[in-house]
Amino acid sequence: MFRRLVTFLGLVSLFALSSAQTATIYVPDDHGTIKDAVDAAVNGDVIVLRPGTYTGSWNTGVYFKGKAITITSEKGPAETIVDCQDVFMGFVFGHKETSASRLDSITIANGYGSVGGGIYCGGSSPTISNCVIRDCGSVASGGAIRCVHNCNPTITGCTIRGNMSSGACGGIYLEWHSSATITDCVIEENLGSAVSCVDSATVVIEGCTFRRNQGRSVVISDAATTIGNSVFVNNQATPVSTTRTGAIITGCAFLHNLGWGSSGGINCYDDTPAITNCTFAYNDAGGGFGGAIYFNNSDGIVTNTIFWGDSARQGDEIYLDGWANPSTLHLSHSDLGGGLASVQMELGSQITWGAGLIDADPLFAEPNMLDTHLTYHSPCRDAGDPLAPNLPATDLEGDPMASSGAVDMGADQYHIHLYHLGGVVPGSKTDLRFVGEPGDPVYLLLGSGIVDPPVPTVYGDLYLLAPIRAFGGPNIPATGVLITSATVPAAWLPGETFPFQALVGGRLTNLMALTAE
């Protein structure tokens, strides 16, 4: 009897072990539809979609059903499209899914629903990564993604483009105590707010780009808010509006936004924002107040920040409302273009003028192209406060914020750097730019691949896989920024990526990966 019990328990353990093993399920090989694959999957399984376009009700409106599974693609989002045909929603997380429920590397197109067009999350906290959500719509807010009832999704590396809703938010909408962490995303050309949060808990936005949205890019109320190292450029409404958030905004660039009667940078209502190492340049309030910042009944701290070339009907750079809603601002270690004349304060509001304030041309690399890298002789170099509140570890481009104990003003710190402006279209021209000290010799390096983690060398971290080709160029000019025009090889195929670094003055720059369009 005892032996039989031991044998039975052994079989139970073996069965539990085998059932815990994960499987890879291919669609349409193993199951003809995405829904059938989800029905067959168990926790830990990975569903891989072969390249193609998936349509029809059997491939859209896919419920994860509470399963800790991954749905991903074999060849990436460019070749794997779930087309909802303006009839169905894309994916649904509605059974208390956790971060172990993953949606990765898929395009969701033409989704439509009453509560979220691309993805709906109800009481769930999935991981959504490397996806493209485009041309989706909803009746309520959240054309791309809608999260309600204590959700906490992680959204990373995604492109959210061209979505809309009949409500106020065409992009990502959070409500009813939901939170979100949104990192390294491109959120562009959406109609209505790009990210909107109402009665939420915590919102973290890091390393994102918001551009050409036809509505306020980020609207948050009653949620602890952190926005870091993000770019807001060419949006057709105020980029950031906060209400009762205690917002911490660091290392962000606000460039050439049009507020249409409201601030071209940040609106704060009944809030206590802390703004550190940001750049506001060439924004327009569109006949409104505060080209860069508008405060209403708010108390803020602004440090290490550049204000340059912004415009408004009143307060080209800063407007503090007053009368029944006075505001206060402590401003220090910043470049305030236009000085006192660029600030408008209504009765009852006040500014505390701290140390380290200047009114000088920041000497951007190329203002006409919105290239706000600091040049070598910029008065903003080493002019910041290294003890500023909420000082981030890195700047907008991932370079160290502090160098030898010194900090620059603005979102981008002056370090040797390699970057480009313009598209990467085979056969066309693109601008390569090298930041360094005047007189530094420059070599452009092309690797055969990327080494991760990089290899430490006496010249700095090497990200390039051998063999490496080197191309010599002119020395860094007096401005500190070398601009060269290069022809993208016609042999490059769309989607191919080529890794570069530069050796500037005997030091290796950052990795720059060019992907052919």
3-state SS, one letter per residue, for 238-250: CCEEEECCCCEEE
pTM given for the model: 0.92
Binning pLDDT at 50, 70 and 90, where does residue 57 land?
very high
Query: Cα–Cα–Cα angle for 510, 426, 474, nearest 5°?
Result: 50
Has residue 81 been placed in a domain? no
Query: 240-243 and 266-269: which strand pairing?
Result: parallel
Q: Which pLDDT does position 408 carry in this prediction?
A: 97
Has residue 61 been placed in a domain? no
Average pLDDT over residues 331-357: 96
% of the chain residues with pLDDT over 90: 84
Question: Within a 10 A sphere around the Cβ of 469, how many other Cβ atoms?
Answer: 11
Q: Which pLDDT does position 12 carry in this prediction?
A: 39
Amino acid in position 509? T
Binning pLDDT at 50, 70 and 90, where does residue 42 land?
very high
Q: Retrieve residue 276's tokens.
A: 């550190």
Binning pLDDT at 50, 70 and 90, where does residue 192 land?
confident
Q: Which of 17-21, 315-319, 428-432 has the highest mean pLDDT?
A: 315-319
Has residue 297 been placed in a domain? no
Do residues 476 and 442 touch, judged by C-beta distance below 8 A? yes
Q: Which pLDDT does position 105 carry in this prediction?
A: 97
Count, residues in the chain = 517
Residue 296, CA atoms < 13 Å, CB-side half-sphere: 12
Integer CA distances (angstroms), 172 to 154, 163, 175, 424, in order: 12, 10, 10, 29
Binning pLDDT at 50, 70 and 90, where does residue 2 land?
very low
Q: CA-CA distance, 517 to 515, in Å (whole number)?
A: 6
Nearest Cα to Cα of residue 263 among 244, 242, 234, 237: 237
Region of residue 61 (left: phi > 0; alpha: psi -120 to 50; beta: else): left
Computed over every residue of the chain, the mean pLDDT equals 92
Average the pLDDT over each of 11-20, 60-69, 458-467 and give the range with the smallest value.
Answer: 11-20
Sheet holding 253-255, edge to edge: 52-54, 80-83, 107-109, 132-134, 159-161, 186-188, 209-211, 231-233, 253-255, 279-281, 306-308, 335-336
Residue 39, H or E segment: helix 34-40
Q: Which pLDDT does position 140 carry in this prediction?
A: 85
Task: Kindly tell me the burial class for residue 443, based on how many C-beta atoms sit within 10 Å of its own C-beta (0-12, 13-18, 19 or more).
Answer: middle
Residue 446, H or E segment: strand 442-446
* DSSP three-state, residue 264: coil
Q: Which pLDDT does position 7 carry in this prediction?
A: 36
On the question of a cis peptide bond just before residue 467, with omega within 30 degrees of 0, the verdict is: yes
Q: Chain-centre distance of CA 367, in angstroms?
A: 22
Integer CA distances (angstroms), 125 to 56, 154, 517, in order: 27, 7, 34
Q: Provide the CATH number for the domain around residue 493.
A: 2.20.130.20
Q: CA-CA distance, 8 to 25, in Å (whole number)?
A: 31
Average pLDDT over residues 149-162: 96
Average pLDDT over residues 312-331: 94
Q: CA-CA distance, 66 to 96, in Å (whole number)?
A: 6
Strand partners, 220: 197, 242
Q: CA-CA distance, 404 to 510, in Å (whole number)?
A: 19
Q: Which pLDDT does position 13 carry in this prediction?
A: 40
* DSSP three-state, residue 442: strand
% of the chain residues with pLDDT over 70: 96
Number of independent structural domains in the chain = 1
Has residue 119 been placed in a domain? no
**Regarding predicted confidence, which is higher, 442 or 114?**
442
Amino acid in position 315? G
Q: Return the residue matching tokens 């010799």.
A: 441
List the domain range (segments joined by +) for residue 506. Answer: 417-515
Average pLDDT over residues 402-408: 85
Tens-digit pLDDT profile for residues 257-295? 999 888 999 999 999 999 999 999 999 999 999 999 999
Question: Over 80: is that where the pLDDT of 380 sits?
Answer: yes
Strand partners, 197: 174, 220
* DSSP three-state, residue 272: coil
Has residue 443 been placed in a domain? yes
Do residues 222 and 248 touch, judged by C-beta distance below 8 A? no
Question: Over 60: is that where the pLDDT of 4 sits?
Answer: no
Binning pLDDT at 50, 70 and 90, where does residue 215 land?
confident
Question: Over 80: is that where the pLDDT of 323 sits?
Answer: no
Integer CA distances (angstroms), 368 to 135, 243, 410, 452, in order: 31, 33, 18, 36
Has residue 169 been placed in a domain? no
Has residue 40 been placed in a domain? no
Q: Which pLDDT does position 6 carry in this prediction?
A: 37
Strand partners, 127: 102, 154
Q: Which pLDDT does position 261 carry in this prediction?
A: 87
Average the pLDDT over each of 15-29, 107-121, 283-297 and give the range with the smallest value.
Answer: 15-29
Q: Which pLDDT does position 453 carry in this prediction?
A: 94
Average pLDDT over residues 55-79: 96
Q: Which pLDDT does position 300 carry in this prediction?
A: 97
Q: Which pLDDT does position 203 carry in this prediction?
A: 94
Binning pLDDT at 50, 70 and 90, where does residue 17 land?
very low
Average pLDDT over residues 125-150: 95
* DSSP three-state, residue 31: coil
Question: Over 90: is that where the pLDDT of 20 sits?
Answer: no
Average pLDDT over residues 412-432: 92
Q: Retrieve residue 389's tokens.
A: 């509140």
Residues 6+ apart with CB under 8 A from 53: 81, 82, 83
Q: Retrieve residue 428's tokens.
A: 């066309």
Has residue 306 been placed in a domain? no
